[in-house]
Amino acid sequence: MGKKTKVAIAIAAASAAAWAGTKALSKPERRPGKPALQSERPLIFAHRGGCQLEPEHTMLAFKRSAELGVDGFEIDIRLTKDEEILVFHDETVDRTTNGTGAVASLTLDDLRELNHGYHFQNLDGEYVYREKQVAPVTLRELLTAFPTTLINIDMKDGPDTYEGSLMPSKLWRLIEELDAAERVIVTSFHCEQIDRFNLYAQNRVALGAGEAEVRNAFTTFTGQFGHLYHPKADVFQIPIKHNRIALDSPKFIQFLTSLNIPVHYWGVDDVVTMQRLIRLGAKGIVTGRPDLAHFLLQEA
């Protein structure tokens, strides 16, 4: 046996011993179930209210999706200058003029004076302009208008911004005031924002996974060290693919499910893909086409 072969065997043996040692010592705990995630069938969320049927994040979209029978809305929020929580995705506002200014630099009254006609992708995949004046929606208005609908809330303001530093506490106070803790999911791309929010919520709200949490889960799972993953999220809302890495592996879904973490896939706008993901074990679909997802609800 050559020297290189002996070294390789020694390394493999050491790696196996390390794996066995960590597996014996590490016992991942299942996440406790949260009311917002309990369902006998996959949940259907209208992406930004149903952004391929009506202008995103508008009452036009929310009302139409509600009529189609979706379980919930997936929304983004930002803080205005006067510290109102606005349901809005982009950092700048009024797409008709390529950005009037940042949401954080305008008051709610300022925003309501702007022309909020939106560009949006229609059913033919074309981006069109909706001439009709559309008022911006606050989170308070949305939670009040749909008191039984699930709301998946994504905090868009970063933790290193002034408005981002205020958002977690502002959001929790509103959720608590409206007694909405059991029908919302709160998440952010930034794990730090989720942690800040949970300092106030104290695990009373279902938490989504930030980018770092998803990366940690995926790398430990694919590296055969899934037993070292200790989840902090109650649900993963992820795309099918990220940077050419497929995230729809049935084994990855099963791994998360074993920890009582349902997987919701966003950006799914055709029935065939919806059905495939559900067969693989997905527990939620976030779609801009709630009219198509409506057929899934009828089948359930």
| Distance set, CA 274 to CA 42, 68, 75, 167 (Å) | 10, 16, 20, 33
The CATH architecture one would assign to domain 39-89+137-299 is Alpha-Beta Barrel (3.20)
pLDDT digits (tens, 9 = 90+) for 264-275: 999 999 999 999
C-alpha 66: how far from chain center: 19
pLDDT digits (tens, 9 = 90+) for 166-197: 999 999 999 999 999 999 999 999 999 999 99
Residue appearing with tokens 């959720």:
175
Spatial neighbors of 254 by CB under 8 A, at least 6 apart, are 281
Number of helices and strands in the chain (H, E) = 10, 14
Q: What is the 3-state secondary structure (H, E, C) of 137-194?
A: EEHHHHHHHCCCCEEEEEECCCCCCHHHHHHHHHHHHHHHHCCCHHHEEEECCCHHHH
Average pLDDT, the chain: 85
Name the residue ranges covered by the structural domains of the chain: 39-89+137-299
C-alpha 162: how far from chain center: 23
pLDDT digits (tens, 9 = 90+) for 196-238: 999 999 999 999 999 999 999 999 998 876 688 999 999 999 9
| 8 Å CB contact between 187 and 194 | yes
Q: Reply yes or no on whether the pLDDT at 261 is more than 90.
A: yes
Q: Reply yes or no on whether the pLDDT at 23 is more than 60.
A: no
